[in-house]
Chain A
Amino acid sequence: MDLHLDHITLVYPDGDTHLTAVDDVHLTIPAGTTTALLGPSGAGKSSLLAVAAGLTRPTRGTVTIGDDVVFTPGTSVARATRVRLERIGMVFQSPRLLGSLTALEQLELHAHLRGERPAAVRARSMDLLAAVGVADHAGKRPAQLSGGQRQRVAIARALVRRPEVLLVDEPTSALDHDRGTQVVELITGLARELGAATLLVSHDASTLGTVDAIERMLDARLAHPAPPARA
């Protein structure tokens, strides 16, 4: 399903004043495609990603998956959590794997969060670990994996429940150019294969050769103007 960010504005209190982190951003990401969001630090990329993930409520605007409006300024924390669990996969800037879990268990955790038996997703988890090239390391904990391997496990974790939307925050920031390119290629390939609408935040345009579209953010706005807001 497509991801629609509909006239998103995010304003933070900043001392006695307010800081506009995202200013009327309108963006649609078709299912199965990857859109990269480029821009300098402080441009509002991660804030937009947080709104798309329901981690932060927008001050104005809505987030829609397919035809379902999932996040609005009034969305409750409980509903946002449920939407993330059921419909959204996330890859963080650093892999953010849980230190006590093996690579396989990082994926099986999702089944447990949904109230299912972890064994129910074991086969799919192994397939995904194989798809990202770390199946041989399924029994290892994060401390036993390299940085690149950890990032691959994090990608597999985000995809284990076949999310409709994949949100990726600076996945190459800790990797060299070649590994970064491979990771982006892996994400775009898997997103296409799974039909996930993918928003990938990055600061490094040189690794984005395989994405379907690139948007640039500057001073809380997209470089292209937003269409008029719907009444």
Chain B
Amino acid sequence: MFVALRDLKHARGRFILMSMVIVLITVLVTFLASLTAGLARESTSAVTDLPADHLAFSMPTPGDPPEFIASRVDADQWEGWADVDGVVSADPLGVATTRAETPGATVSVTALGVAAGSHVAPVREDGTPGDVDPGTIVLTRAAADALDAHVGDAVTLGGTRLTVAATLDTDQSFSHTPVVWMTLDDWQSIGARGAARAPGAAVSATVVALTTSGTADLAGADAALGTTTLTTSDARSAVSSFTAENLSLTTMQAFLLVISALVAGAFFTVWTISRSGDLAVLKALGATTRYLLRDALGQAAVLLGGGVTIGALLSAAAAAALSGVVPIAVTPTTSLVPAVSLILLGLTGAGVAIARIARIDPHAALAAR
């Protein structure tokens, strides 16, 4: 990179300008990736944080894609799942978004209903799942903050007063609403999924949370019990807002990545054309095409590496500053994957642009300039 590094220093105005473009694109892409992850977490963490590996849905119309909003499982189904070989636990879980009220606030929450002794009951401070007593409610931190509720306070859900039994240090949310926990009976009594259950009527839930040993015949059990089983990760797509939201944001990221490749390609096309005279001289002096391509690609790598690193750091700093205001999650995946993609796509764009070096005729060095 004898010439490339000196070109970077000599034509610093042009390269700084290009670096700024790369920095800005990187900030956009990595911030968007962090925002996508943050929104995804806000939309689905109640599902992905469950101590279960699969969820069994039962849709009103067999064959429909699973959705939390429409799924309804009954006792025969979760008891059937509990008897399947390889299934360690099968717990009914009610999921429904509703309105919660305290004297000082009214907020939307997602009520999760669990049966007594459930393996997916909220994890308490000591790290173990704790039952929720009838007539009480357990609040996640965000729900407690939003409702300004503390242990012993009353919270009204669907006209039913429940007493706050505990608040959790953890945050789970579903479809951008904070989670509250209650018994499956109370969950059904508040009419979170339509009309309140009549006394004595059969209990139902939304899904069956499964913990499996890996040997369970899930497809066979689905066929026998009329359910559709997904991993907890795949079950995110059953949250109605998640798929569209995630697709929109991921599409924006993809467009930005393509734009970054085109911008890098356009810059290095113009740059290569502007220095074609120098390249002809270098060839006439004995530089091989491979040497010149390596030199130019190295220059692009320095430019992209520097710009992307600065952009990713700026984005992480901005995300840290805004973490309390917007749902944002900065992880190695949200920073490194877009950064590496930007560098690779940028190098691809630059590579296509500098390929024209191979066509430069050293004979041109003899022409007067």
Does A pair with B? yes
Which residues of chain A have a CB within 8 Å of any CB of chain B? 46, 49-50, 53, 55-56, 78, 81-82, 84-86, 88, 90, 92-94, 96, 98-101, 105, 108-110, 112-114, 118, 141, 157, 169-170, 173
Within 8 Å by CB of A90, from B10, B284, B369, lies B284
Within 8 Å by CB of A112, from B2, B9, B284, lies B2
B residues in contact with A108, CB < 8 Å: 2
- Segment among B83-91, B187-195, B339-347, B358-366 that sits at the interface with chain A: B358-366
B residues in contact with A53, CB < 8 Å: 284
Least CB distance from B7 to A in Å reads 5
Least CB distance from B258 to A in Å reads 31
Which A-chain residue is minimally distant from B6 (CB atoms)?
A100
Once bound together, how far apart are the Cα atoms of A161 and B291, in whole Å? 18
A-B contact count (CB 8 A): 79
Structural contact, A110 and B369, CB atoms closer than 8 A = no
List residues 178-209 of chain B with CB under 8 A from any CB of chain A.
Answer: none
Structural contact, A55 and B6, CB atoms closer than 8 A = no
Structural contact, B366 and A113, CB atoms closer than 8 A = no
Number of interface residues of B (CB under 8 A): 25
| Residue picked from A49, A101, A170, most chain B C-beta under 10 Å | A101
Which residues of chain B have a CB within 8 Å of any CB of chain A? 2-3, 6-7, 9-11, 277-278, 281-288, 291, 362-363, 365-369
Least CB distance from B16 to A in Å reads 15
Which B-chain residue is minimally distant from A80 (CB atoms)?
B362
Which B-chain residue is minimally distant from A56 (CB atoms)?
B363
Once bound together, how far apart are the Cα atoms of A105 and B368, in whole Å? 23
Within 8 Å by CB of B286, from A92, A96, A113, lies A113
Q: Given known contacts A93-B368, A93-B369, A98-B3, what 20 new A-B pairs fall within 8 Å (CB)? A: A81-B287, A81-B362, A84-B285, A93-B366, A96-B365, A96-B369, A98-B282, A99-B278, A100-B3, A100-B9, A105-B2, A105-B6, A109-B3, A110-B285, A113-B282, A113-B285, A113-B286, A113-B291, A114-B286, A157-B285
Which B-chain residue is minimally distant from A83 (CB atoms)?
B286
Q: Binding site of B, secondary structure by majority: helix, strand, loop or mixed?
A: helix
Which B-chain residue is minimally distant from A169 (CB atoms)?
B366
B residues in contact with A112, CB < 8 Å: 2
Once bound together, how far apart are the Cα atoms of A169 and B369, in whole Å? 13
Which B-chain residue is minimally distant from A173 (CB atoms)?
B368
A residues in contact with B283, CB < 8 Å: 81
Within 8 Å by CB of B369, from A55, A94, A100, A114, lies A94
Structural contact, A96 and B281, CB atoms closer than 8 A = yes
| Residue picked from B286, B288, B367, most chain A C-beta under 10 Å | B286
Least CB distance from A120 to B in Å reads 13
Which B-chain residue is minimally distant from A93 (CB atoms)?
B368
Structural contact, A82 and B286, CB atoms closer than 8 A = yes
Structural contact, A98 and B286, CB atoms closer than 8 A = no
A residues in contact with B7, CB < 8 Å: 100
Least CB distance from A106 to B in Å reads 10
Once bound together, how far apart are the Cα atoms of A49 and B9, in whole Å? 35
Once bound together, how far apart are the Cα atoms of A82 and B285, in whole Å? 10
Structural contact, A98 and B281, CB atoms closer than 8 A = yes
Structural contact, A100 and B10, CB atoms closer than 8 A = yes
Once bound together, how far apart are the Cα atoms of A118 and B11, in whole Å? 22
B residues in contact with A169, CB < 8 Å: 366
Structural contact, A85 and B3, CB atoms closer than 8 A = no
> Given A81-B286, A110-B285, A94–B368 Cβ distance below 8 Å?
yes
